[in-house]
């Protein structure tokens, strides 16, 4: 495993940290590519080899990691002209760390299979700092045999790596995770404003709630660290990314014959945040929408 050649495509907010951990921990060659030259230079400080194109990055690679903005980009890189299907060797494994729709993951897997290339969907959770620290949670869709091949490599980036089922199931679990979080944040935002207007200091409210049945990961992290101090840093998980993931879940629910109503409410708040100019802010900024609308 340590002598395998790895290609890494996409060095953005999450991909940069994951690529650096891969370069530092892998004993074999790592070639990486991004359209942003500065991002490549940054990852290059950890070692590895800069590639001039997707085709060069994946040439002769045994495993190819992707960390891209969404399904459209994943399909283009995998199946487009001069992409992975046209450039990778037979038997290579593509591991997609991006968040896409379940349908996109399965379509890309089918397209690559025609060229003898295997595919794993492996979306990540826990945010930018965890990507830097190598402490992500990764949800994997793959056969058990393929999972066994890629799990040691995924552990360069993550402390938790979970097989969720066949291709597409990693994306399903990731989308459900993100949607439940957004629904929780939506409820928390509404009740924080209610509590404040009723005369309860927000800090007191969250402290007391954290000791009872309303406690949650969202309350302790997003509530206490972002919504309470009203600090919504850029490049954390901005509103457009939240909208993208939520729309993917709503599509999945529809495909599964479920009319999920709670995502609709979260989406309305996120879209309103976008209208108010909060496109770059961390998505718990929806508390500002609740307060002012």
Identical fold, 6-165 and 172-292: no
> Which DSSP helix (H) or strand (E) runs through 36?
none
The two structure tokens encoding residue 13: 């907010």
Q: Which of the following is catalytic: 89, 149, 174, 276? A: 174
Q: Say if CB 77 and CB 119 are below 8 A apart.
A: no
Q: Say if CB 32 and CB 146 are below 8 A apart.
A: no
Q: What pLDDT is stored for residue 1 in this prediction? A: 64
Verify whether residue 25 is a known catalytic residue.
Answer: no
Q: Under CATH, what is the fold of the domain 172-292?
A: 1.10.1040
Max alpha carbon distance in the chain (Å)? 65
Domains of the chain, by residue range, sit at 6-165, 172-292
The closest alpha carbon to 15, from 103, 96, 119, belongs to: 96
- CB atoms closer than 10 angstroms to residue 59: 16
pTM of the predicted structure, to 2 decimals: 0.93
So what CATH class is 6-165? alpha beta
pLDDT, tens digit only, all 293 positions of the chain: 678 999 999 999 899 999 999 999 999 999 999 999 999 999 999 999 999 999 999 999 999 999 999 999 999 999 998 899 999 999 999 999 999 999 999 999 999 999 999 999 999 999 889 999 999 999 999 999 999 999 999 999 999 999 999 999 999 999 999 999 999 999 999 999 999 999 999 999 999 999 999 999 999 999 999 999 999 998 789 999 999 999 999 999 999 999 999 999 999 999 999 999 999 999 999 999 999 99
What is residue 23's three-state secondary structure? Answer: helix
Q: Say if CB 41 and CB 61 are below 8 A apart.
A: no
Q: Distance between CA atoms of 98 and 118, rounded to whole angstroms?
A: 16
Residue at token pair 């890309």: 108
């Amino acid at each position: 495993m340590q002598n395998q050649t790895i290609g890494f495509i996409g060095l953005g907010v999450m991909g940069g940290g994951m690529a650096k951990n891969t370069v530092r921990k892998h004993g074999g060659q790592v070639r990486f590519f991004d359209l942003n030259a500065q991002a490549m230079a940054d990852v290059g400080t950890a070692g590895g080899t800069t590639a001039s194109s997707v085709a060069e990055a994946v040439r002769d690679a045994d495993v190819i990691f992707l960390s891209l903005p969404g399904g459209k980009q994943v399909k283009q890189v995998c199946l487009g002209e001069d992409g992975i299907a046209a450039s990778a060797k037979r038997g290579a494994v593509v591991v997609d760390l991006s968040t896409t729709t379940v349908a996109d993951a399965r379509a890309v897997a089918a397209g690559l299979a025609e060229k003898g290339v295997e595919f794993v969907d492996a979306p990540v959770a826990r945010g930018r700092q965890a990507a830097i620290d190598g402490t992500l949670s990764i949800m994997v869709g793959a056969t058990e045999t393929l999972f066994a091949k890629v799990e040691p490599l995924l552990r360069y980036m993550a402390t938790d790596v979970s097989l969720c089922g066949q291709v597409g199931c990693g994306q399903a679990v990731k989308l459900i995770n993100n949607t439940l979080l957004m629904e929780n944040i939506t409820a928390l935002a509404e009740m924080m404003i209610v509590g404040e207007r009723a005369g309860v200091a927000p800090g007191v409210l969250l402290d007391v709630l954290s000791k009872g049945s309303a406690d949650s990961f969202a309350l302790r992290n997003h509530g206490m660290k972002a919504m309470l101090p009203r600090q919504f840093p850029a490049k954390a998980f901005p509103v457009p990314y939240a909208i993208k993931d939520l729309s993917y879940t709503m599509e999945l629910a529809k495909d599964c014959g479920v009319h999920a109503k709670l995502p609709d409410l979260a989406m309305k708040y996120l879209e309103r945040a976008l209208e108010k100019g909060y496109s770059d802010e961390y998505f718990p900024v929806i508390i500002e929408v609740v307060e002012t609308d």
